[in-house]
A = this chain, B = another copy of it.
Amino acid sequence: MSKELVFGHQNPDTDAITAAIAFSYYQNQLGYETEAVALGEPNEETQYALKHFDMKAPRVVKTVSNEVDSVMLVDHNEPQQSAPDIDKVTVTHLVDHHRIANFNTAQPLWANLRPYGCVSTILYEMFNEKHIDIPAHLAGMMMSAIISDTLLLKSPTTTDHDREAVKGLAKISGETDYEDYGIKMLKAGTNISAKSDNEIVDGDAKTFELGGTTLRIGQVNTVDLDDVFARQADLEKEMQSLMSKNGYDTFVLIVTNILNSDSELLVVGANPDKVEKAFGKKLDANKRMNLPGVVSRKKQVVPPLTDAFEG
């Protein structure tokens, strides 16, 4: 067996980085030769967690086929979210919590998919099932990843598996007040003043094809909506520029207040009426719409938009 690279999606978040480190460690314990890498630099939230638990960021790679023939994917399976040369290597392993889309393999592979809030929760269970000890520092990162993906277990994507994993990992890591730590970590990721307009609108954006039109849906976390909307004119300019460059018809930015779990949408481009229909609510004169209790793009924003655009 030759060496394999393990990595998460482009624009890596804390789970994409952590799951790669954790799965690489797990596989090496089982006798594989793997290295965790990343398809981008860690964001500020991830940097905070890495520093707190005294861990190093994985090496950043642009392509993978120049180094290896085979790879292991975590936290994504859709090719457009992966390495640009993913079609030139064999995916031998996959650990993920997303839908399966356009993921095709020539050969059978090893895959563990569970519909949990976070891949690190799946990995926590896998370590337990194989009775492999999780080092304390790694446990701290895995706890951080679950807190990040579930917004401190408040997102509707959260499952009982995630709640149990956070508790178990907090204990192993020695971080007993995970709520206090979690708020600090999430806040570290919401330093709006340090983010460029592009990072705010597009740093975590994903593209969706709905009813014959192309939607780009970005999301940014904050502790104060005003920190974002004070820059609305510049953000709209950046969204318009990305739309004309990439052919998006509609750009929706979800600005989420992580302290009270509310979001405000900013909608630019075609079909604002369909967005209004999706949430049964009018956009205000500033093209914005407040959505109390909405924090999950996957579970609370994409499904109603899909119904409205395809209905």
Taking beta carbons and an 8 Å cutoff, which residues of A are in contact with B? 94, 96-115, 129, 298, 303, 306
Contact = CB atoms under 8 A, between A and B. Distances in A.
A130 to B, nearest CB: 9
A80 to B, nearest CB: 14
18 contacts: A96-B108, A98-B108, A99-B104, A99-B105, A99-B106, A99-B108, A99-B109, A100-B103, A100-B104, A100-B111, A101-B105, A102-B104, A106-B303, A108-B113, A108-B114, A108-B298, A110-B115, A111-B112
A108 B104 contact: no
- How many chain copies does the complex carry? 2
Contacts of A96: 108
Q: Is the interface of A mostly helix, strand, loop or mixed?
A: loop
A115 B109 contact: yes
B113 A306 contact: no
Given A109-B113, A111-B111, A129-B129, A101 B104 contact: yes
A141 B306 CA distance: 42
A183 to B, nearest CB: 27
A113 B115 contact: no
Nearest to A78: B104
Contacts of A113: 94, 108-112
Q: Which of A94, A101, A107, A112 has the most CB of B within 10 A?
A: A107
Contacts of A104: 99-102
A169 B97 CA distance: 32
A298 B112 CA distance: 21
CB-based closest 9 A-B pairs: A111-B113, A108-B115, A99-B105, A100-B105, A101-B104, A129-B129, A97-B108, A110-B114, A99-B108
Contacts of A115: 107-110
A106 B298 contact: no
A129 B96 CA distance: 20
Contacts of A111: 100, 111-113
Contact of A99 (B98, B99, B107, B306): B107
A303 B107 contact: yes
Contacts of A107: 99, 115, 303
Contacts of A298: 108
Contacts of A94: 113
A56 to B, nearest CB: 30
Nearest to A128: B129
